[in-house]
Amino acid sequence: MIRTPLLCALAGFALLLAGCGDKAAEARKAPAKPALTVTTTTPQQAMLPITLTANGNLAAWQEASVGAEASGLRIAEVLVNVGDRVRQGQVLARFAAETVRADAAQAQAALAEAQASAADAANNAARARTLQETGAMSASQINQYLTAEKTAQARVEVARAQLQAQQARLTQTQLHAPDDGVISARTATVGAVVSNGTELFRLIRKGRLEWRAEVTSAELGKLTPGTRAIVTAPSGARLEGRVRTLGPTVDPQSRVAIVYVDVNPLPGPAAGSARAGMFARGEFDLGAMPALTLPQQAVVVREGFSYVFRVNPDQRVSQVKVQIGRIAEDRLQVLSGVTSDMRVVASGGGFLNDGDLVRVADGPANATPAAAAGAGADSAPASAAPAASAQR
């Protein structure tokens, strides 16, 4: 009676062990399911551009100072403002011309008076010459008449020059643009009386800008006149330019040289928004060189290092550390860690770990039987969700 319950317990425990053993054997026989469905890619050779990045300021190519030539004139009218585009010869401002016209009329009268005096002196000299041979007039008197003729003629020339000066001053009552361009500054005010040489306007000639890039003395040797550059202003405006000249000196404190780049705006939503004085960042085009590249999605960054996942023949992945170089659009330069024939996971590597089994969607020709079995209908729903997540 006492042994019967003990025997029953032992029999039950034996049956339980037998059942667990069968389940473990079945689990060992069941094929492993892939962690993810992936596509693969191989590193490709591509020509990557070589660029030199620099910072600098946008500035006017040349500025013209437009000032008053006549002195003591009052500004009667200002016709342009800052930001206006003007043409060569266009009137920018007008001065009150009443006083100048009066001075010109006075000079005209003085010229007429001098011409009359010169005509009288010429007649007297002509008569003296006719009497020179007769002896009716002394040589001294004849010389006086001849000298008076020359003096009168000189006074005519002086009066004519004064008239020309007044006429020139009359033309200066209108201030003209010396060249095509954009008005960048204006100090002219209606009613102000200015002296000659006073700057009234500042003009950006031709409306042209230049980028004054700052490069180190070590980088200066990489640039030559004609090197292409793409410049981006804070406003979003993009400008294309060519190096016009390299600065003749290097700052002894900062070891920085100035490179002068002629720029023109590129078409775009912010075209024309670049202004002189803006800070701008640009890149010089130094050519191109061959490089081994991968899509950016194929590279996974973990703990500050870059990795790719190599797909092995058994459809398991190995995490490979790589060194990344430059970026060109959607591709990365790989400096080390991969070879040109290595198959790596194209995207979704962030969901994988070293040694995970994957299903390759772009060519499972060398899939193992376990992987092929795991890709069956039973495992399709399990792999579809991670694949969709990777694609997102």
CATH code: domain of residue 299:
2.40.420.20
- 283: domain CATH number is 2.40.30.170
Whether residue 127 is found in the same domain as residue 215: no
Q: What is the pLDDT of residues 13-40, one digit of tens each?
A: 555 555 555 544 444 545 667 778 889 9
* pLDDT tens for each residue of 369-388: 333 333 333 333 333 333 33
| Average pLDDT estimate for 252-258 | 93
Q: Are 147 and 160 in a shared domain?
A: yes
Please count the structural domains in the chain: 3
Q: Indicate if the pLDDT at residue 308 is higher than 90.
A: yes
Q: Are 73 and 199 found together in one domain?
A: yes
User: Quick one: 83 and 187 in the same domain?
Assistant: yes
- Are both 298 and 387 inside the same structural domain? yes
Which of 263, 289, 315 marks a domain boundary? 289
Are β-strands 256-265 and 209-216 bridged in parallel, bridged antiparallel, or unpaired?
antiparallel
Q: Are 158 and 85 found together in one domain?
A: yes
User: Residue 289 in contact with residue 328, Cβ under 8 Å?
Assistant: no
Report angle CA 343, 348, 352 to the nearest 5 degrees.
85
Domain boundary among 270, 289, 308: 289
> Which of 289, 309, 325 is the endpoint of a domain?
289
**Digit-coded pLDDT (tens) for 169-223:** 888 899 999 999 999 999 999 999 998 889 999 999 998 999 999 999 999 999 9
What pLDDT band is residue 129 in, cutting at 50, 70 and 90?
Answer: confident
What's the rounded Cα separation, in Å, for the pair 140 and 147?
A: 11
pLDDT band at 10 (very low <50, low <70, confident <90, very high): low
As a whole number of angstroms, the distance between CA 320 and CA 339 comes to 11
**Helix axis angle, 98-131 to 139-171, nearest 10°:** 160
Dig out the tokens for 133 from the structure: 């041979």
Residue 20 lies inside a defined structural domain of this protein: no
pLDDT digits (tens, 9 = 90+) for 275-294: 999 999 999 999 888 899 99
Shared domain for 220 and 199, answered yes or no, is no
121 inside domain: yes
